């Protein structure tokens, strides 16, 4: 009798697990949509490839003048174009994308020695990091380790953070975006065994958790510190509507950042932080029904404020990862929102027809609203995280979720 009960219990557990897996499986219709999007993205990036001048990297495109804006390798967005090419090569195995990614990587190589920016994580890990993952090149690994050493020079123990900008009037500014650069440091400790990178990353994450976040788990954009004492001088915004507002992309960087820190440390407090941030975002009355955020959650003219597709893409990618670390119902909630974002970014309103939009995938992102710069345009990082979100979604089924 007890044997029958044991078998029945096992069957119940197995059935429950099967249901759990089924509930968190990717949806076939969305998988088809994503595969179609990625096939189009391959073609669209070939359009972009045809436009980017030798020695330059794309930033955005201005429809009114049909003008592609590009940058040098030392601009913070330089890694996204090669990174997107690597991701699309991973999907398509189209070697023309791989060749273009490798060509543009050579422009970034010297940035491994750049100690004047906190954005080396974005620049190098999104580019060389994807290259290393796909090609396993020892040279890429060396370049990334040198980059991690350069980034580490911007950390000062008195503050407990990596310094973001060297510009005035700031003293020792740290922006929430900087959470994204920690992934390079975690990787560096993982491959080198040198724990100093890890210690810098967790110290930065802890200081940011303490000082950037408000009681409702929204984040300030900039915290300015005294570089000698580490005291907080001011909490401000640069790219948001107001010092006290929740600039949308900053909230997405924080969500993605703490989810990644949890992946890298397995420390529960970072998972809790990511879940609190997700709660702030997903229950926010100013998050539209289609889940594409306004450029600032407190923008003055909501519901007429501009949307930021880049904030949505980063959020979708982060939510898919976060769904791996929580219980089934919570995971389903995160996936529901990520799915909605992917579907809505795939609509004609956001996703460009191949050949249009200067070769970029997504329309309607906001770079720096207060500076009137890159407002309601395509942006290279919106494309990068949109593609990453779609690839992460495709992998759901393979991870038993």
Residues within window 346-375 making contact with ligand GLY, judged by CB under 6 A: none
Under the binding rule (CB under 6 A), the answer on residue 249 touching ligand GLY is yes
Nearer to ligand GLY, 141 or 249 (CB): 249
Q: Which residue has the closest beta carbon to ligand GLY?
A: 177
Nearer to ligand GLY, 339 or 374 (CB): 374
- Binding residue (CB under 6 A) for ligand GLY from 85, 124, 144, 177: 177
Residues within window 222-241 making contact with ligand GLY, judged by CB under 6 A: 239
Under the binding rule (CB under 6 A), the answer on residue 163 touching ligand GLY is no
Q: How far apart are CB 110 and ligand GLY at their closest, in Å?
A: 21
Q: How far apart are CB 249 and ligand GLY at their closest, in Å?
A: 5
Nearer to ligand GLY, 166 or 272 (CB): 166
Among 119, 224, 308, 383, the active-site one is: 119
Tell me the per-residue interface mask from 98 to 127 with ligand GLY, x by CB under 6 A, - otherwise: ------------------------------
Nearer to ligand GLY, 249 or 363 (CB): 249
User: Does the active-site annotation cover 177?
Assistant: yes
Q: How far apart are CB 142 and ligand GLY at their closest, in Å?
A: 27
Q: How far apart are CB 374 and ligand GLY at their closest, in Å?
A: 9
Residues near ligand GLY (CB under 6 A), total: 3
Nearer to ligand GLY, 249 or 351 (CB): 249
User: Does the active-site annotation cover 119?
Assistant: yes
Three-state SS for the chain is CHHHHHHHHHHHHHHHHHHHHHHCCCCHHHHHHHHHHHHHHHHHHHHHHCCCCCCCEEEEEEHHHCEEEEECCCCCCCCHHHHHHHHHHHHHCCHHHHHHHHHHHHHHHHHHHCCCCCCHHHHHHHHHHHHHHHHCCHHHHHHHHHHHHHHHCCEECCCCEECCCCCCCCCCEEEHHHHHHHHHHHHHHHHHCCHHHHHHHHHHHHHHHHHCECCCCCECCEEEECCCCCCEEEEECCCCCCCCCCEHHHHHHHHHHHHHHHHHHCCHHHHHHHHHHHHHHHCCCCCCCCCCCECECCCCCCCCCCECHHHHHHHHHHHHHHHHHCCHHHHHHHHHHHHHHHHHHCCCCCECCCCCHHHCCECCEEEECCCCEEEEECEHHHHHHHHHHHHHHHHHHHHCC
Q: How far apart are CB 173 and ligand GLY at their closest, in Å?
A: 11
Nearer to ligand GLY, 105 or 123 (CB): 123
Among 177, 224, 296, 308, the active-site one is: 177
The residue ranges that bind ligand GLY (CB under 6 A) are 177, 239, 249
Give catalytic residues, as residue numbers: 119, 177
């Amino acid at each position: 009798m007890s044997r029958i009960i044991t078998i029945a219990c096992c069957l119940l557990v197995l059935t429950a697990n099967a249901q759990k897996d089924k509930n968190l499986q990717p949806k076939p219709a969305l998988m088809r949509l994503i595969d179609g999007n990625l096939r189009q993205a391959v073609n669209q990036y070939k359009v972009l490839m045809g436009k980017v001048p030798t020695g330059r990297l794309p930033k955005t495109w201005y429809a009114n003048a049909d003008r592609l804006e590009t940058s040098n390798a030392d601009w913070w967005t330089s890694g996204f174009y090669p990174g997107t090419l690597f991701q699309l090569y991973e999907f398509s195995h189209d070697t023309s994308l791989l060749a273009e990614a490798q060509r543009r990587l050579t422009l970034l190589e010297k940035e491994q020695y750049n100690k004047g920016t906190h954005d080396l994580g974005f620049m190098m890990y999104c580019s060389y990091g994807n290259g290393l993952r796909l090609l396993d090149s020892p040279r890429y690994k060396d370049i990334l380790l040198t980059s991690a050493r350069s980034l580490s020079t911007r950390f000062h123990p008195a503050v407990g953070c990596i310094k973001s900008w060297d510009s005035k009037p700031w003293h020792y500014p740290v922006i929430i975006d900087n959470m994204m650069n920690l992934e390079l440091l975690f990787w560096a400790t993982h491959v080198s065994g040198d724990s100093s990178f890890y210690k810098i990353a967790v110290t930065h994450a802890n200081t940011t958790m303490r000082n950037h976040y408000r009681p409702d788990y929204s984040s300030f954009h900039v915290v300015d510190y005294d570089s000698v004492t580490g005291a907080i001088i001011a909490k401000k915004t640069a790219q948001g509507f107001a010092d006290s507002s929740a600039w949308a992309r900053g909230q997405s960087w924080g969500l993605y950042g703490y989810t990644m820190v949890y992946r890298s440390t397995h420390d529960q407090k970072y998972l809790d932080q990511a879940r609190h941030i997700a709660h702030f975002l997903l229950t926010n009355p100013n998050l539209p029904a289609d889940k594409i955020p306004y450029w600032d959650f407190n923008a003055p003219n909501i519901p007429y404020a501009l949307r930021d597709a880049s904030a949505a893409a980063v959020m979708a990618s982060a939510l898919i990862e976060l769904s791996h670390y929580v219980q089934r119902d919570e995971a389903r909630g995160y996936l529901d929102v990520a799915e909605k974002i992917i579907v809505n970014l795939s609509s004609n309103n956001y996703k460009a027809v191949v050949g249009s939009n200067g070769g970029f995938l997504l329309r309607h992102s906001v770079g720096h609203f207060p500076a009137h710069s890159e407002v309601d345009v395509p942006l290279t990082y919106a494309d990068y995280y949109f593609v990453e979100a779609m690839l992460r979604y495709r992998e759901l089924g393979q991870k038993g979720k």
